[in-house]
Structure 1
Amino acid sequence: MLVAAAAAGALAFSAEESDKSETFRQLELFGDILARVQSDYVTETDDPELIENAINGMLRSLDPHSSYMPPDAFRDMQVQTSGEYGGLGIEVTLESGVVKVVAPFDDTPASRAGVEPGDYLTAIDGESIVGTTLDEAVEQMRGQVGEPITITIARENEDPFDVELVRETIEVKPIAWRVEDGFGVIRVSTFNEKTTDSLAAAVKSLQAELGPNLPGLVLDLRSNPGGLLDEAVGVSGVFLNGGEVVSTRGRDPRDTERYNADGGDMTDGSPIVVLIDSGTASAAEIVAGALQDRERATVAGMTSFGKGSVQTVIPLRGGRDGAIRLTTQRYYTPSGRSIQATGIVPDHEIANEILDESALKRLRESDLPNALKAELESMAENEEIEHDIEEPPADYEGEDFQLQRGLEILAELNASRKTAAVAQ
């Protein structure tokens, strides 16, 4: 028995050594190719740029969200998550070498100019950006405040067109609120370091206007590209009395982290309708999934983007060499759902327009090159769902059918709540 165990251990060690040896051989191959390019390419090469592109190629082959950030881009990212930065106000991703819009942020040059989720950005100031890295494209879009910039947009079923913008200091205000039809409407546009505190302040303002026992509120997460995981947990905690919001699991299933709500439900159980669409991604999906699973809110709209992965930013040499953004975990809703590539399916599927083929083809996570696959169980469950999508009537003249229906659903929930209270 001891001899057999020793032999098995030796075989495992030998296989591990063989794997390392092959890795070193491949690194030598990379060095040989780099040396040949340096010596024989038709023009002189920029060696740091070649190596950076090679690193990005490796990371992009993993999934659409892993990438290398040079020092300048890393500093920009740190500024952006603090809630203020310079640029146009667009969340973008890369699809087949083309920059594609996930969503514009509210009240930014991009949103005011009519940039839409799913638009392709093909050129900046007349220079093609097709084939560039995502970081390079973002760097070109940023610049001095007040400087003009022209972006070329390719939109489905339309000829490419130019949009002229002026760069601004983008101070992303994550929360906007108002009263409509006697209910609170809270728009959450992103999850930065200010989101939870701003949401709590909005709820208090609504309670001051409508009374401490809110009749209900709409939480609008449409076209919200996500942001910080901790803020998603904080936002969910505004409406939950403790309990799990989300869990994350890495390569080893034993490395599970659970994030719980803290602080108690500020609204004391007031009815909530959460609005989502194909631009609702990442942290916004965590909130929608948590409130749906915990039966704290009714979710309405269209199936969300389906980004169910967590990226860890790993500084290199303290940030002096930039950082890598690496996908390290998947996240799961309280019931154990992974929404990677499948998204959150609303309780009430409601379109904001008459659906045609192009409307049904909105960009989602599963469309991105090298996207992490959905887990088999989740995909099977998703395929069994029969989609009965409510569309606006042909003669509808309103501006926002999803919000209108959300308010109507909220009124029904509030009436049921009052009836239940009387019955008690």
Structure 2
Amino acid sequence: MIRKLSLLAAGASLGAVLTFVGMGGQIPGLSPAIAAGADTYRQLNLFGDVFERIRADYVEEPDEGALIEAAVNGMLTSLDPHSSYMNAKSFQDMQVQTRGEFGGLGIEVTLEDGLVKVVTPIDDTPASKAGVLAGDLIVALDGVQVQGLSLQEAVDKMRGPVNTPIVLTVQRKGQEKPVDIKVTRDVIKIQSVRSRVEGDVGYIRITQFTEQTFEGLKNAIAKIEKDVPADKLKGFVVDLRNNPGGLLDQAISVSDAFLDKGEIVSTRGRHESETRRYSAKDGDLSDHKPVIVLINGGSASASEIVSGALQDHRRATIVGTRSFGKGSVQTIIPLGSNGAIRLTTARYYTPSGTSIQAKGITPDIEVKQDLPPELQPDQVETKGEASLKGHLVNSGIDKEESGSQAYVPPDPKDDKQLNYALDLLRGLQANAAFPPKQDAAPVPN
């Protein structure tokens, strides 16, 4: 049996969804005729020739395992920014993280122009508390330059024993000199869902989609409904800002929690037979109360599935700034003791049949945050999927979209997007996009 895990995330250390596919002794899609092609064998011979030349003549004796690993990873990373090789340790770390607990600093990262770029710091983690911001470029770790390291090598250097410090040298737009930020490593326990009552409104924050997310959402809704009488509850704010993504099944379940019927998302692979459609089951956990979803430039992948489903079905009004724009699915294919490969195998589409790849979800109501004096606009702008080298092209759009603001004030009273959503639910603000009109339904294509 080959166990597969399909990834839905923006960065390197993001979550996955487990699906199981039973197989015999053959690998599908690799027919003898194709495998025996003359061009294929010639290219494989080229690889063998180069490998042997390095083994025989390189100035120092090379690590043969490291050579093979680098070659495999180079082959995968040449495809797109989200395909890569994971050795056994990296694969184990990824599996731990999807369970919602892992060791490290608490940041989601990707590789940009040879530097480690922070997609988002995770709430209430050492990195977030130390002042690491989305969009920061990490140029050195404990004084050692990261240029030339693979993303996984950089991530490994950032991990270490709990309570040990590391100094991140960060380059921020608008600042001439890099900034040193000292972060103390800790066990990162991700509580993916947090909630509170804002007077007569239920506020639910989802930081990422792990195995516990749907249960956390159910508990949050139940607690809010217990704390606020049904006739007093104005509705819910679901905060997906700076949520980098995670498990596909959890994104589907979270969407289903607010829907009674209809398609939630479809995934389409290279062949038509690989198309999968996921639909909602009867039962709205929120009792059909009004819903506003908050997104920004750090909302990616699984977050965009939820936003797109609720927007297309006119179930929620989307407020904030345009999302990241990652519209592809990665499958993790284990390789026994050799780790696993992360391979882009499908694109996903919202219920209306729209791909958000390199485009993102456009909010129904755009609301930008007021920035504090010490921050410049370009310090809190994410470039999005379209800025990643080698990203998949979206042939269904006229032009790719740049990134958007990803700043969230630490004090809720300064949070313009949240306060606007609360005012909408309370009737203190009026906008044609709220409540969403139910005069049309998405038609999958």
Q: What residue is the counterpart of 2:204 in the other structure? A: 186
Equivalent residues of 1:271, 1:413 under 8 A apart: no
What is the 5 A alignment of 1:181-330? 181-212=199-230, 214-262=233-281, 264-317=283-336, 320-330=337-347
The one-letter amino acid paired with 1:362 is T
Determine which of 357, 360, 369 is the counterpart of 2:389. 369
Equivalent residues of 2:174, 2:379 under 8 A apart: no
Equivalent residues of 2:324, 2:382 under 8 A apart: no
Q: Deviations over 1:164-206 (max 9, x none)?
A: 1111110000011112242111111000000000011000010
Q: What residue is the counterpart of 1:7 in the other structure? A: none
Equivalent residues of 1:216, 1:414 under 8 A apart: no
Q: Using the TM superposition, give the Cα deviation of residue 283 of structure 1 relative to its aligned residue in structure 2, in angstroms.
A: 0.3
Contiguous gaps of at least 5 residues in structure 1: 1-15, 384-388, 392-396
Equivalent residues of 2:420, 2:429 under 8 A apart: no
The one-letter amino acid paired with 2:74 is G
Question: Root-mean-square deviation (CA), in Å?
Answer: 2.8
Q: What residue is the counterpart of 2:28 in the other structure? A: none
d(CA) in 2 for partners of 1:129, 1:271: 47
Determine which of 92, 105, 108 is the counterpart of 1:88. 105
Q: What residue is the counterpart of 1:173 in the other structure? A: 191
Percent of residue pairs bearing the same amino acid type: 51
SS of the residue 2:108 aligns to:
strand
Q: Using the TM superposition, give the Cα deviation of residue 378 of structure 1 relative to its aligned residue in structure 2, in angstroms.
A: 3.1
Determine which of 174, 180, 183 is the counterpart of 1:157. 174
Q: Using the TM superposition, give the Cα deviation of residue 309 of structure 1 relative to its aligned residue in structure 2, in angstroms.
A: 0.5
Q: Using the TM superposition, give the Cα deviation of residue 43 of structure 1 relative to its aligned residue in structure 2, in angstroms.
A: 2.1
Q: Using the TM superposition, give the Cα deviation of residue 144 of structure 1 relative to its aligned residue in structure 2, in angstroms.
A: 1.1
Q: What residue is the counterpart of 1:402 in the other structure? A: 417
Q: Using the TM superposition, give the Cα deviation of residue 322 of structure 1 relative to its aligned residue in structure 2, in angstroms.
A: 0.1
d(CA) in 1 for partners of 2:345, 2:143: 37
Task: Choose 1 or 2 for highest CA Rg.
Answer: 1
d(CA) in 1 for partners of 2:354, 2:34: 38
User: Compared with structure 1, are the counterparts of its residues 117 and 17 closer, same or farther at alpha carbon in structure 2 (3 Å cutoff)?
Assistant: closer
d(CA) in 2 for partners of 1:311, 1:148: 33
Q: What residue is the counterpart of 1:106 in the other structure? A: 123
d(CA) in 2 for partners of 1:415, 1:151: 44
SS of the residue 1:378 aligns to:
coil
Contiguous gaps of at least 5 residues in structure 2: 1-32, 438-445
The one-letter amino acid paired with 1:206 is I
d(CA) in 2 for partners of 1:18, 1:64: 26
Q: Using the TM superposition, give the Cα deviation of residue 353 of structure 1 relative to its aligned residue in structure 2, in angstroms.
A: 2.8
Q: Deviations over 1:192-246 (max 9, x none)?
A: 0000000110000100111235311111100000000000001111111132111
d(CA) in 1 for partners of 2:186, 2:200: 35
The one-letter amino acid paired with 1:172 is I
| Worse overlay, 210-219 or 126-135 | 210-219
Equivalent residues of 2:297, 2:381 under 8 A apart: no
Q: Using the TM superposition, give the Cα deviation of residue 254 of structure 1 relative to its aligned residue in structure 2, in angstroms.
A: 3.5
The one-letter amino acid paired with 2:262 is G
Q: Using the TM superposition, give the Cα deviation of residue 96 of structure 1 relative to its aligned residue in structure 2, in angstroms.
A: 1.9
d(CA) in 2 for partners of 1:85, 1:256: 33
Q: Using the TM superposition, give the Cα deviation of residue 44 of structure 1 relative to its aligned residue in structure 2, in angstroms.
A: 2.1
Q: What residue is the counterpart of 1:148 in the other structure? A: 165
Q: What residue is the counterpart of 1:121 in the other structure? A: 138
Q: How many residues align?
A: 393
Q: What residue is the counterpart of 1:4 in the other structure? A: none
Equivalent residues of 1:105, 1:189 under 8 A apart: yes
| Worse overlay, 200-209 or 246-255 | 246-255
Q: What residue is the counterpart of 2:74 in the other structure? A: 57
d(CA) in 2 for partners of 1:31, 1:367: 35
d(CA) in 2 for partners of 1:196, 1:18: 43
d(CA) in 1 for partners of 2:238, 2:428: 15
The one-letter amino acid paired with 1:316 is L
Q: Deviations over 1:144-176 (max 9, x none)?
A: 111111111111111211111111110000011
User: Compared with structure 1, are the counterparts of its residues 216 and 414 closer, same or farther at alpha carbon in structure 2 (3 Å cutoff)?
Assistant: farther
d(CA) in 1 for partners of 2:120, 2:193: 16
User: Compared with structure 1, are the counterparts of its residues 116 and 282 closer, same or farther at alpha carbon in structure 2 (3 Å cutoff)?
Assistant: same
Q: Deviations over 1:344-385 (max 9, x none)?
A: 00000111136976268522011011111123x3346x88xx
d(CA) in 1 for partners of 2:256, 2:161: 38
Determine which of 351, 360, 365 is the counterpart of 1:343. 360
Q: Deviations over 1:124-161 (max 9, x none)?
A: 11111122111111111111111111111111111211
SS of the residue 1:191 aligns to:
coil
d(CA) in 1 for partners of 2:90, 2:380: 34
SS of the residue 2:51 aligns to:
helix
